[in-house]
Copies of this chain bind each other. A is one copy, B any other.
C-alpha cells in the first residue's frame, strides 16, 4: 500500500502520542522506539515517511576499519540507494559510543532528498550534523566514528530499532516525543483513527479549560459523547 499524499498529510496531523494510542486498539504495544530523540535540527518538527533500513553489527577489528568505507557494502553505498522522501532508520544496537554518521554523510543524505534520520544509536560531529539541517532523531552524540564500535552489514533488511521491529516500507513518524513505527498494513487505519482522535482531544482540552473534571469526560460517558457529537457539528 503506497503512502499516498493524502494519507501522508493525514498522518502529519497526528502526534506520535496519538498514533501509539490508535495502534493499541489493534493490540500493538511495541511501536515507539527507545532511544531516538530529536537533535536541535529536529526540535519542534514532525516527519512522516517510509522506512529505509540500515543495519550494523558490532565492530570486529579485522573488519571495522576506515578501509571498510570503500567496500561495496558500506554506508556510502547505502545512501546512494536511498530514494527521495524516505526516512533512513538505522539499527545501531543501541550503541552510544560510536557515531553512525557525521556531517558529511548527513549532508549527502540531504542532497538526495532524504527526509530524516532515525537511530537507536548516536551521531558524531553534532554541530556539523545540525548544520546540515537533516532532521535527526538519535540517542545523543559521540566523537568516534562508526568503525570504532560497529560494522555496517546491509540495507533494506528487517531491523531492530530501539526495541521495535522495522521492515522496509513500514512507515515512520517522529516528533518531539520520539519516533514510532506504523506497520505498513495498518497505515490507513491509523490515518483515519488518528484524525478523529486528535479532533476529540481538541474538544476535551476546550472542556478542561472551562473547568470540567476528567471523570466522565475523558474517556467520555454517554452525556459527554452527546456533547462531543454536537460540538463536532458546529
Contact = CB atoms under 8 A, between A and B. Distances in A.
B104 A215 contact: no
Q: What is the count of identical protomers in the complex?
A: 6
Interface in A126-177: 126-127, 140-145, 147-149, 151, 153-154, 157-160, 163-166, 176-177
Interface residues of A, number: 91
B80 A213 contact: yes
A145 B29 CA distance: 10
B176 A127 contact: yes
A178 B214 contact: no
Contact of A215 (B77, B147, B157, B177): B77
A-B residue pairs, 6 tightest by C-beta: A16-B143, A76-B214, A143-B177, A20-B144, A57-B165, A57-B160
Interface of A: 15-17, 19-21, 24-32, 34, 37, 44, 57-67, 69-70, 74, 76-77, 79-80, 93, 96-97, 99, 102-105, 107-108, 111, 124-127, 140-145, 147-149, 151, 153-154, 157-160, 163-166, 176-178, 180, 183, 185-186, 201, 204-205, 208-209, 211, 213-216, 218-219, 221
